[in-house]
Structure 1
Amino acid sequence: MNERLRGQYLVIVSILFALILNFPLLSLFNKPILWMGIPLLYWYLFTCWLGLVGLMYWYWTRQNHE
Protein backbone atom coordinates (compact mmCIF):
# COMPACT_ATOMS: atom_id res chain seq x y z
CA MET A 1 0.00 0.00 0.00
CA ASN A 2 1.41 3.37 -0.89
CA GLU A 3 2.12 6.20 1.53
CA ARG A 4 -0.93 8.22 0.51
CA LEU A 5 -3.40 5.43 1.34
CA ARG A 6 -1.57 4.69 4.58
CA GLY A 7 -1.87 8.33 5.60
CA GLN A 8 -5.56 8.43 4.69
CA TYR A 9 -6.23 5.32 6.74
CA LEU A 10 -4.51 6.78 9.79
CA VAL A 11 -6.46 10.05 9.44
CA ILE A 12 -9.77 8.16 9.18
CA VAL A 13 -8.97 6.05 12.25
CA SER A 14 -7.91 9.14 14.20
CA ILE A 15 -11.12 11.00 13.33
CA LEU A 16 -13.23 7.95 14.18
CA PHE A 17 -11.72 7.60 17.63
CA ALA A 18 -11.83 11.34 18.25
CA LEU A 19 -15.59 11.16 17.63
CA ILE A 20 -16.04 8.04 19.74
CA LEU A 21 -14.15 9.55 22.68
CA ASN A 22 -15.83 12.94 22.51
CA PHE A 23 -18.44 14.46 24.85
CA PRO A 24 -21.79 13.34 23.43
CA LEU A 25 -20.92 9.64 23.45
CA LEU A 26 -19.01 9.81 26.72
CA SER A 27 -22.03 11.34 28.42
CA LEU A 28 -24.15 8.36 27.32
CA PHE A 29 -21.89 6.03 29.28
CA ASN A 30 -21.33 8.29 32.29
CA LYS A 31 -24.04 6.62 34.37
CA PRO A 32 -23.88 5.30 37.93
CA ILE A 33 -24.00 1.72 36.64
CA LEU A 34 -21.49 -0.88 37.77
CA TRP A 35 -20.73 -3.96 35.76
CA MET A 36 -18.57 -6.50 37.57
CA GLY A 37 -17.81 -3.75 40.08
CA ILE A 38 -16.39 -1.35 37.48
CA PRO A 39 -18.19 1.82 36.31
CA LEU A 40 -19.74 1.70 32.85
CA LEU A 41 -17.68 4.67 31.64
CA TYR A 42 -14.43 2.82 32.41
CA TRP A 43 -15.67 -0.21 30.47
CA TYR A 44 -16.51 2.03 27.50
CA LEU A 45 -13.10 3.74 27.55
CA PHE A 46 -11.24 0.44 27.88
CA THR A 47 -13.26 -1.13 25.06
CA CYS A 48 -12.59 1.86 22.78
CA TRP A 49 -8.89 1.74 23.57
CA LEU A 50 -8.80 -2.01 22.96
CA GLY A 51 -10.61 -1.49 19.65
CA LEU A 52 -8.03 1.09 18.59
CA VAL A 53 -5.17 -1.25 19.46
CA GLY A 54 -6.88 -4.13 17.64
CA LEU A 55 -7.54 -2.03 14.56
CA MET A 56 -3.96 -0.83 14.45
CA TYR A 57 -2.65 -4.39 14.96
CA TRP A 58 -4.84 -5.65 12.13
CA TYR A 59 -3.64 -2.83 9.89
CA TRP A 60 0.01 -3.42 10.77
CA THR A 61 -0.12 -7.17 10.12
CA ARG A 62 -1.99 -6.61 6.86
CA GLN A 63 0.67 -4.10 5.79
CA ASN A 64 3.51 -6.54 6.49
CA HIS A 65 1.95 -9.36 4.46
CA GLU A 66 1.46 -7.35 1.29
Structure 2
Amino acid sequence: MGNALEWFDVAIYGFFAATIAKLFFPSTDDTVSLLMAFGTSASRTWYARSAPSSSAGTRTGSAARPR
Protein backbone atom coordinates (compact mmCIF):
# COMPACT_ATOMS: atom_id res chain seq x y z
CA MET A 1 0.00 0.00 0.00
CA GLY A 2 2.79 2.41 0.91
CA ASN A 3 4.64 1.74 -2.33
CA ALA A 4 1.50 2.46 -4.36
CA LEU A 5 1.01 5.76 -2.53
CA GLU A 6 4.63 6.70 -3.12
CA TRP A 7 4.31 6.08 -6.86
CA PHE A 8 1.01 7.97 -6.90
CA ASP A 9 2.78 10.92 -5.26
CA VAL A 10 5.58 10.80 -7.85
CA ALA A 11 3.09 10.61 -10.73
CA ILE A 12 0.98 13.52 -9.47
CA TYR A 13 4.05 15.67 -8.82
CA GLY A 14 5.44 14.84 -12.26
CA PHE A 15 2.12 15.68 -13.87
CA PHE A 16 1.95 19.08 -12.18
CA ALA A 17 5.71 19.83 -12.25
CA ALA A 18 5.43 22.44 -15.00
CA THR A 19 2.70 24.30 -13.10
CA ILE A 20 4.62 24.07 -9.82
CA ALA A 21 7.75 25.35 -11.57
CA LYS A 22 5.96 28.42 -12.93
CA LEU A 23 4.20 29.24 -9.66
CA PHE A 24 6.96 28.61 -7.11
CA PHE A 25 10.21 28.98 -9.10
CA PRO A 26 9.72 31.88 -11.53
CA SER A 27 12.67 32.38 -13.84
CA THR A 28 13.37 33.73 -17.27
CA ASP A 29 14.29 30.22 -18.37
CA ASP A 30 11.56 27.56 -18.09
CA THR A 31 14.12 24.76 -17.98
CA VAL A 32 15.74 26.21 -14.86
CA SER A 33 12.36 26.49 -13.15
CA LEU A 34 11.50 22.91 -14.04
CA LEU A 35 14.86 21.61 -12.81
CA MET A 36 14.39 23.49 -9.54
CA ALA A 37 10.94 21.93 -9.09
CA PHE A 38 12.29 18.44 -9.75
CA GLY A 39 15.28 19.13 -7.49
CA THR A 40 12.95 20.08 -4.66
CA SER A 41 11.04 16.84 -5.12
CA ALA A 42 14.27 14.84 -5.22
CA SER A 43 15.60 16.46 -2.05
CA ARG A 44 12.30 15.81 -0.26
CA THR A 45 12.41 12.16 -1.29
CA TRP A 46 16.05 11.83 -0.28
CA TYR A 47 15.37 13.38 3.13
CA ALA A 48 12.30 11.24 3.77
CA ARG A 49 14.26 8.06 3.02
CA SER A 50 17.36 9.04 4.99
CA ALA A 51 15.71 10.48 8.10
CA PRO A 52 14.83 7.93 10.76
CA SER A 53 11.15 7.51 11.48
CA SER A 54 9.86 9.20 14.59
CA SER A 55 9.29 5.92 16.42
CA ALA A 56 12.36 3.99 15.27
CA GLY A 57 14.83 3.32 18.02
CA THR A 58 12.83 5.00 20.78
CA ARG A 59 11.57 3.11 23.76
CA THR A 60 9.00 4.96 25.80
CA GLY A 61 6.23 3.99 28.12
CA SER A 62 5.90 0.44 29.41
CA ALA A 63 8.31 -0.92 26.79
CA ALA A 64 11.17 1.13 28.31
CA ARG A 65 10.76 -0.31 31.83
CA PRO A 66 12.70 -3.47 32.58
CA ARG A 67 10.56 -6.38 33.66
Question: TM-score scaled to structure 2, two decimals?
Answer: 0.54
**Rg larger for:** 2
Between the two proteins, what is the percent identity of the paired residues? 8
Pairs aligned (count): 53
Q: Which has the higher contact order (CA 8 A, sep 6+)?
A: 1
Structure 1: 5+ residue runs without aligned partners? 1-7
Larger fraction in strand: 1
Larger fraction in helix: 1
RMSD: 3.1
Structure 2: 5+ residue runs without aligned partners? 59-67
Question: TM-score scaled to structure 1, two decimals?
Answer: 0.55
Q: Any runs of at least 4 consecutive aligned residues in structure 1 with deviations exceeding 6 A, and if so which?
A: none
